[in-house]
Structure 1
Amino acid sequence: MNTTTWAVPTIADLKARNAELVGMVDTAELALEKLHIAHHKTLTENQTLRTLITTLAAELAAEKIAHLDTLEALYYSEQTA
Structure 2
Amino acid sequence: MDVASYQFQEQRKHCLSNIEHWDNASAEQKITLYKLHNYGYRLLFIRNTPEGPLAVISQDNEIAVIDTDGTLNLQHQIKLRHCPAD
User: Which fold has the larger relative contact order, with Cα–Cα distance below 8 Å and residues 6 or more apart in sequence?
Assistant: 2
Structure with higher strand content: 2
Flag the structure with higher helix content: 1
Specify the TM-score bucket, using the shorter chain as the normaliser. Answer: under 0.3
Over alpha carbons, which structure has the higher Rg? 1
In the superposition, the TM-score normalised over structure 2's length comes to: 0.19
